[in-house]
């Protein structure tokens, strides 16, 4: 059973020290965040993956800062316990540090999140340090970085070659020294991810990087198999098949509407209560006590609030 107290940066560090795995999941709207909160997750990422699973893009690159703020507001209205972090989208934290800080300020003030996540290592360490010094927790992200998918040549596992391993180690060290709260390791070979995790004082959150990380994150829609025809992902385990259930429910609804099975009498309002329809007596022209629905303020057959 998860500790009901709100998760803080100190709590995340303590979880690493005690060997307690950190549970993180993405969420993009009020109902998904509320359900994740009720399930007891420790962290929620308002990820720019919303571009793929919510907005219909083929990558995260088209996602804007305004998109992230909009979805962050919805998530934070639902959350009580988890530590909520929002992705800074493509090209919003490169170039001027002041410009990046302005974007971070909007995420925090308008979106309501407790921290931000940035992709990259040594090349963004100075920006990470400036954000941390401004009082904002930063989650790093190395390995496969989706915003750089074109530069990487596709969605490829990282940490296979000596050069990749060296870069990963240098990147996480730079982020730790810059003051990052935690680091996401995406599609890093399990052995290297475990080695990196042991060598850091801050938590690592794995996705497709094996069981040696200090925590795990998956996309909400992957966990629930929300898509009608989800792409096969070796590192994902689906715990439900919501996509199938939704499709079957909507198909049944469409069939019943077309066959006039829905709405049935019990789903409609009537001038005469259904159980009285076979009676021969005349319904009084006006009788407030009899005309009122069992639902307060609604007349049978009116389908709108009573003016009384």
Nearest to 154 by CA among 58, 45, 51, 90: 58
Residue in this structure with the two tokens 């992200």, named with its chain if needed: 141
> Strands, E, within 156-296: which ranges?
182-186, 204-207, 215-218
Kindly give the confidence (pLDDT) of every residue in the chain, 308 residues in length, as a single tens digit, with 9 standing for 90 and above. Answer: 678 899 999 999 999 999 999 999 999 999 999 999 999 999 999 999 999 999 999 999 999 999 999 999 999 999 999 999 999 999 999 999 999 999 999 999 999 999 999 999 999 999 999 999 999 999 999 999 988 876 666 667 888 999 999 999 999 999 999 999 999 999 999 999 999 999 999 999 999 999 999 999 999 999 999 986 667 788 999 999 999 999 999 999 999 999 999 999 999 998 876 566 665 445 455 545 444 444 444 433 334 444 43
pTM of the model: 0.86
Would you state the pLDDT for residue 157?
A: 84
Choosing among 3.40.50.620, 3.30.300.30, 2.60.40.1120, 3.20.20.60, the CATH entry for 9-223 is: 3.20.20.60
Q: Are 118 and 127 a contacting pair, CB within 8 Å?
A: yes
User: At a CB cut-off of 8 Å and minimum separation 6, what does 273 contact?
Assistant: 300
Q: Spell out the domain ranges in the chain.
A: 9-223, 265-308
Would you state the pLDDT for residue 158?
A: 83
Would you state the pLDDT for residue 229?
A: 63
Query: Inter-axis angle of helices 162-178 and 125-133, to 10 degrees?
Result: 20
* Pairwise CA distance, residues 175 & 139, whole Å: 9
* Pairwise CA distance, residues 117 & 113, whole Å: 11
Which positions are catalytic? 186
Would you state the pLDDT for residue 172?
A: 98
């Amino acid at each position: 059973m998860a500790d009901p107290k709100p998760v803080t940066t100190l709590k995340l560090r303590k979880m690493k020290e005690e060997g307690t795995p950190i549970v993180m999941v993405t969420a993009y709207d009020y109902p998904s965040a509320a359900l994740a909160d009720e399930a007891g997750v420790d962290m929620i990422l308002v990820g720019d993956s919303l571009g793929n699973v919510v907005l219909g893009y083929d990558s995260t690159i088209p996602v804007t800062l305004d998109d992230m703020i909009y979805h962050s507001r919805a998530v934070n209205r639902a959350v009580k316990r988890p530590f909520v972090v929002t992705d800074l989208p493509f090209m919003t934290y490169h170039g001027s540090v002041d410009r990046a800080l302005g974007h971070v300020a909007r995420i925090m003030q308008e979106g309501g999140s407790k921290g931000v996540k940035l992709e990259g290592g040594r090349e963004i360490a100075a920006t990470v340090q400036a954000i941390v010094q401004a009082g904002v927790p930063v989650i790093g992200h190395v390995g496969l970085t989706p915003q750089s998918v074109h530069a990487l040549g596709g969605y490829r596992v990282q940490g296979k070659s000596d050069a990749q391993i060296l870069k990963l180690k240098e990147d996480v060290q730079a982020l730790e020294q810059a003051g990052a709260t935690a680091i996401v390791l995406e599609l890093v070979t399990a052995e290297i991810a475990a080695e990196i995790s042991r060598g850091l004082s801050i938590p690592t959150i794995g996705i497709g990087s094996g069981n040696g990380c200090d925590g795990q994150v998956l996309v909400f829609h992957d966990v629930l198999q929300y898509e009608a025809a989800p792409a096969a992902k070796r590192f994902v385990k689906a715990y439900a098949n919501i996509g199938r259930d939704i499709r079957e429910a909507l198909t049944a609804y469409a069939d019943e509407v077309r066959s006039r099975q829905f709405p049935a009498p019990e789903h409609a309002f009537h001038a005469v209560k259904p159980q009285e329809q076979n009676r021969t007596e005349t319904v009084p022209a006006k009788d407030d006590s009899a005309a009122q629905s069992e639902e307060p303020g609604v007349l049978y057959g009116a389908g709108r609030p009573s003016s009384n």
